[in-house]
Structure 1
Amino acid sequence: MILIRLAYGVLALWAVSVLVFLATQALPGDAAVTALGRNATPAGLASFRARFDLDAPLITQYWDWLRHVLSGNLGVSFSMSSSVSAVISSRVVDSLVLMAVSAVISIPLAVWIGVYTASRRDRLGDHLMSFVVLVINALPEFVMAVAVVVLLATNVFQILPAVSALDPNDSILGQWRLLVLPVLTLVLMVVPYVARTVRACMIEELASEHVRMARLKGLTERRIILRHALPNIAGPTFQVVAQSLAYLAGSIVVIETVFQYPGVGQALDQAVSARDIPVIQALACLLAAFYILVNILADIGTVAMTPTLRKRAR
């Protein structure tokens, strides 16, 4: 089963690489003119196109690019004249830190909210929490980001910086104040989806026969939840958590652009504006690879935590 999932993952990543390559070729404008400026001479433009094989047939360009990527060479940035690996390496680290901090906060919080609302179904706390979660879930990422900035950085409470421009000479954790707003936005976007899914699974589990039997035996509600209900929803919970991590990878493009956070999302936005094709291709494929890997791990984890699925996989 794992080998089949990996094979599908490789095939999907190859398909994504083809789509990304074709999409970058369809971008408006001329990459040579964008990189050298409108005052560039015809000889300079011709030299630039020859250097990066921009005049070669598309199939040749794709094959050369794919061959270099498989050998570990991501190419040279058009706008910065340095290797793509050097351009995006620090950006990837910054984005991973942002995602990791957001996941560490949002996942336990979402699971707790889901369990809390399910155990108090149809009570006041359940209705209030469900209403707040539903409202937050209905807001797009950029709207939530702007609302957080207005509330905590500009008009209402000016307690945090509105822009998360990190100093590359200082450690990320040493600039924790710059992480608060983007992390808070990502947490608010992830928690509702996970919490609602956990709540639905927990409600169904608490109505099961073995939980009723545990109540008849006189077990406390806390013990029933921790020992009988939670282990049985581990598979769906693991699946929704993995999907949330994949969602974080996509959301950082918007969030980092809004807060000017120097991560993968901002680098992708700048590369599209500058028509920096090698950087766009590398970042888009990197995000796709992360998404595919998370989904593969989610499938494997769900099977590992569900006895019936383990038997089928064998």
Structure 2
Amino acid sequence: MTAATTAAVETAPAKNTHPLARLAARRVFEGVLTLFALSLLVFIATSILPGDAASSVLGKQATGPALKSMRHAMGLDRPLVVQYGHWLSGLLHGDLGNTAAGYASGGHVTVWSQISDKLNNSLALAGTAFVPIAVLSMLLGVFAALKAGRWQDQLISTVTLVPAALPEFVLGTVLLAVLFTWLDLLPPVSFVVPGTNPFSAGITLILPVLTLVGVTVGPAARMLRAGMLEALDAGTVAVARMNGLSEWRVVRRYALRNALAPTIQVFALIAQYLVGGLLIVENLFGYPGIGKELVDAVTIHDNLEVQSVTMLLAAFYVAVTIVADLLVMIVVPKLRTGAPQ
């Protein structure tokens, strides 16, 4: 057997790999590279920010010897390259390190123990908001596409545009003024007792959820409307109509199926937006989630916690992108059969 034949045989399995497996491998590799580059940026950015975690921990006691001792305990006196390597190694092994609160108390309060409850609270809030956002945007987007150019389409566009045009903190403040100050219907602070289920006081979630829904449904519905209009213009839909099928049957069996891929992408964008939206909404309503925890960590210069939380949020963002790409490939036949991308 010649060398060329041997090489061809050795590379044959790779060529016969399923397109979905190749796409998954490529997306995961790109995601890892993205997270690695982001870890460098996050570490550099937090390292050059003014302020010092050791000074924040010691407060008025941040004198020369005490400050030097605390910086040594926190590893801040080591070269930045060594600090980055130590942090990245711990991150890869699931050890997020000790918080500034731990050093302040002279004990060991890990970053994970500090953020785990807050992360659960944020997941509860994001999940609660995602459901009405997805349902409303889907219903409004499909209905607007079916009524494209008519008064119903214009009404949906106008009604959803107003709250979507406002920043989260502005819409949240307006809702707070109306539902708490004027009507006294909802509490102004979304307080959750530490260690309890956030749904145990579900009324406190209403204002944050309404804010997230208000700023998100409009853009999501417009994107879904565009995808639905494109699906309605497909050849299969035209043939189905020519065959005398009812409009509802055409929409249900053909248009919605063609619009499935853009719908997946829109839902992925909604999930990714919620990561950033939570940072603002949680601080506005005092909700004890990961967004508020991140802001508090920045305030006290707890760089280790800031870096770890940022990477967790980035990993979620990248994971959603990868999953959405794979789902689109599954539902689009020409991608599933290995057609050129």
Place the TM-score, normalised by the shorter chain, in its bin: over 0.9
> What residue number does 2:128 align with?
101
Which of 271, 294, 299 is equivalent to 1:245?
A: 271
Read off the aligned partner of 1:108 and give its amino acid letter. V
Read off the aligned partner of 1:54 and give its amino acid letter. L
Residue 246 of structure 1 deviates from its aligned partner by 0.6
Residue 200 of structure 1 deviates from its aligned partner by 0.9
CA–CA distance in structure 2, aligned partners of residues 216 and 196 of structure 1? 28
Tell me the secondary structure at the aligned position of residue 181 of structure 2: coil
Q: Does 1:73 align with 2:68?
A: no
CA–CA distance in structure 2, aligned partners of residues 249 and 216 of structure 1? 45
CA–CA distance in structure 2, aligned partners of residues 79 and 169 of structure 1? 18
> What residue number does 1:88 align with?
115
CA–CA distance in structure 1, aligned partners of residues 257 and 295 of structure 2? 42
> What residue number does 2:157 align with?
130
Residue 133 of structure 1 deviates from its aligned partner by 2.0
> What residue number does 2:71 align with?
49
> What residue number does 1:213 align with?
239
Residue 80 of structure 1 deviates from its aligned partner by 4.1
Residue 257 of structure 1 deviates from its aligned partner by 0.6
CA–CA distance in structure 2, aligned partners of residues 301 and 216 of structure 1? 31
> What residue number does 2:176 align with?
149
1:1-314 equivalent positions in 2, closer than 5 A: 1-81=23-103, 82-155=109-182, 157-312=183-338
CA–CA distance in structure 2, aligned partners of residues 217 and 115 of structure 1? 22
Q: Where do 4+ consecutive residues of structure 1 move more than 3 Å?
A: none
CA–CA distance in structure 1, aligned partners of residues 147 and 255 of structure 2? 14
Residue 125 of structure 1 deviates from its aligned partner by 1.3
**Rg: which structure is higher?**
2
Deviations 1:58-88 (A, max 9, x none): 1011001111111211011013441101000
CA–CA distance in structure 1, aligned partners of residues 238 and 82 of structure 2? 65
TM-score, normalised with respect to structure 2: 0.88
Deviations 1:246-299 (A, max 9, x none): 111111001101011000000001000010111101111111111011111111
8 Å CA contact 1:202–1:230 kept in 2: the answer is yes
Read off the aligned partner of 2:78 and give its amino acid letter. A
8 Å CA contact 2:125–2:205 kept in 1: the answer is yes
Deviations 1:125-148 (A, max 9, x none): 111111122222221111121122
Read off the aligned partner of 1:283 and give its amino acid letter. V
8 Å CA contact 1:303–1:313 kept in 2: the answer is no
CA–CA distance in structure 1, aligned partners of residues 273 and 26 of structure 2? 24
Deviations 1:177-232 (A, max 9, x none): 00111111111222112210111111222233332332233322211111110000
8 Å CA contact 1:253–1:264 kept in 2: the answer is yes
8 Å CA contact 1:79–1:274 kept in 2: the answer is no
Residue 169 of structure 1 deviates from its aligned partner by 4.7
Residue 313 of structure 1 deviates from its aligned partner by 6.4
